[in-house]
Amino acid sequence: MSQIDLWFGEQYGRENGRYLNIKLDNVLEKIVSPFQEIYVVNSPAFGKVLINDGVVMLTEADEAGYHEMIAHVPLCSHPEPREVLVIGGGDGGTVRELLKHPQVKRVDICEIDGMVIEICRKHFPNLANSFSHEKVHIYLEDGAKFLTTRKGQYDVIIVDSTDPIGPGATLFTEQFYRSISSSLKEDGIAVSQMESIFWHTEFIQNTFLYLKKIFPITTYYYTMVPTYPSGMIGFSFCSKKYHPIEDFIVERAEEIPDLRYYHSELHRAAFQLPSFAKNIF
């Protein structure tokens, strides 16, 4: 990896030339875990950047667009989100946002790679300090295996995963989402990272074919993150009972402190898709 410039984006999309080239002024740390190669670099444009296996996970400049939307949309759609599970999320940003909801009594985080947590504690304390909260319980396990022993336990499950390659591939299967359904309470909600409608249309469409078999309410929403592929990323919203618009708790959304991206009007707008994407779901 060069200290002058870095091509980043979808590592597996290299042949399509879909990269944003940014200048770096320093490589702060590199480690190789049993699961992946992890870099922390500094960019004059984006601040510190976390890169796993050549794919950007987050930047200080635009992480709020991702973390606030993956956390607050489900927690403002469920009336009593007391017990929450995060699968992945080793940077701590999603947990940070969940803790802004006083209704939440317990947050379990299941992250397969403990080195991600440690490197983020060191370089991204604004995110990873959330792991030290008394409500947070960390499990260094495979998410799919973890779910097999948590039947009917959670109000909300958030899958804050990498792309469906490498260690993240098992988090995008029909069997995995059936395990999520089993681990949710009878009115539970699950939200998962679900790629870009611009670049991953076929993948998203195929995934929703089985999501619709498992959950009575399924839909897709998106957020803007300039350093992610195509400048946006989406989420699957899967629910056993509550609808993200019809059951949206506006008052709760308007009470969340310290927001950079999410707000009540954006909550609704995020589910409005462009014409080409409406037929995907």
- Whole-angstrom distance, CA of residue 273 vs CA of residue 279: 10
Q: How many other CB atoms sit within 10 Å of the CB of residue 260?
A: 10
pLDDT score of 3: 44
**DSSP H or E stretch at residue 41:** strand 37-43
Ranges of the chain whose pLDDT falls below 50: 1-4, 7, 9-10
Q: How many other CB atoms sit within 10 Å of the CB of residue 121?
A: 17
Burial of 15 (0-12, 13-18, 19+ CB in 10 A): exposed
Could you read off the pLDDT of 40-66 as tens digits, one per residue? 999 999 999 999 988 889 999 999 999
pLDDT score of 67: 98
Q: Is 160 a known active-site residue?
A: yes
pLDDT score of 161: 84
| DSSP three-state, residue 171 | helix
Q: What is the pTM of this model?
A: 0.93
pLDDT score of 199: 85
Could you read off the pLDDT of 223-239 as tens digits, one per residue? 999 988 889 999 999 99
The structural domains of the chain, ordered by start, are 5-58 (2.30.140.10), 63-278 (3.40.50.150)
The active-site residue out of 53, 155, 160, 163 is 160
- Whole-angstrom distance, CA of residue 47 vs CA of residue 273: 30
pLDDT score of 253: 98
